[in-house]
Each structure stands twice: as structure tokens, then as C-alpha cells.
Amino acid sequence: MRDATEALIVIDIQNDFCPGGALAVAEGDAIVPGVNALMEEFGALVLTQDWHPAGHSSFASSHAGKEPFGMVEMPYGPQVLWPDHCVQGSHGAAFHAGLNTDPADLVIRKGFRPQIDSYSAFFENDRSTPTGLEGYLHTRGVTRLTMVGLATDFCVAYSATDGARLGFDVTVRADLCRAIDLDGSLGIALEQMAAAGVTIT
């Protein structure tokens, strides 16, 4: 019997984050079979999808003279500049072909506002503009979250810490995540998740 209070949150398993993609995470596709196998254990299943308009402000190509993985200051704080990725309607934005999307109860698209990036499944990068996921989970009676996906040190970590901050019991399955590890970002993310009360297994 699936526990209706438990949800699996599958984060950004999209072509651009998998090998061959515009912002590929090493072995990003290797987690797909394990994630699929986990789906049947949960009462609720949510997929998140990075969904940027062309010319998004987080793209290095939108800033003259800037290179990918550099930093700029945005009104909401420091922002990593990324290669163009997960552009709405593109092959790169599509879910990995091997991912079983049929059981999903909800797909949360994020990063669609041109002037603000969105790593977390719960909030834009200003940490206050909501995606609507919190309200959805509460109305479903969900109290416990397990998170898997890409990338551990950005979208997974932001989602996990926000989930814990909102009062959910959050577990991250590290074996079903993969990291970018940009200048030590993985170690920092793991520390921040642990400090927020996230269980990492």
C-alpha cells in the first residue's frame, strides 16, 4: 500500500542535463532506471522541468562579454551564468526518453520568468516567488518528500533545503542524483542540506 503522505520529487531529468546535452551532468542518465523503479513506492509523484524562454537572463549569451559559469549580480543576488539550456519546446528541455513520465501526478515547470532563474522546485531564486508546489503537496496531505534527480548541488539542493524550511520531512537519495560540482559546489550543498535537517542517504 502506497503511503499517501509520501511524495517522490523527480528533479530535472532532462536531455540538456544528460550526457550530450548543453549543460550535461556526468552520468546524469545513469540514474534513470533506479528512479523509474522507485516511482511505484510513493503515493504522489511530481516531476520538475527547467523551462526557460530563449534569451533568459541566466544565460551567459544574454550578457555581452560574459562566459558560461561566470557570475553576475542580479537584483535577487549572485547568479551563475549558464550555457543556453532547457529552452522551452526544445529537444534539450524534454524529459530524458528513458524516464517514465506516465505515472506523474504533476509536472512543475520552473525558470520560465525571463528575469529570474529558478533552481528550487518550490521557489524562484529570489527564495520568495512560489511555484505552487508547496500548496499542492499540502492539499494532497503530503508531509514527507524523497528527492532524486539533477543536479545534486543546484536544483536538488535548493529544493531539499526549501522543502525542509517549509516543514516537510525531506530525504535526498544521493545514489539517484548526480552533481555538477562547480568549484566545490557539491560539498557546500551537502553541508547546507544537512544543516537544514535534510536526510541524505
The catalytically annotated residue of 117, 155, 162, 177 is 155
Residue 155, Cβ density class (10 Å: 0-12 exposed, 13-18 middle, ≥19 buried): buried
Closest CA to 7 of 52, 42, 35, 34: 42
> Active-site residue 105, yes or no?
no
Q: What cell was used for 132?
A: 505552487
Distance separating the N- and C-terminal Cα atoms of the chain:
23
Number of H helices and E strands in the chain, helices first, is: 4, 8
> Active-site residue 177, yes or no?
no
Q: What cell was used for 56?
A: 533568459
Chain position carrying cell 536544483? 155
The catalytically annotated residue of 29, 86, 110, 117 is 110
Strands (DSSP E) found in 77-154: 77-80, 106-110, 144-150
> Active-site residue 18, yes or no?
no
CA distance 58 to 79: 7
Q: What cell was used for 139?
A: 492539499
Give the active site residues: 12, 110, 155
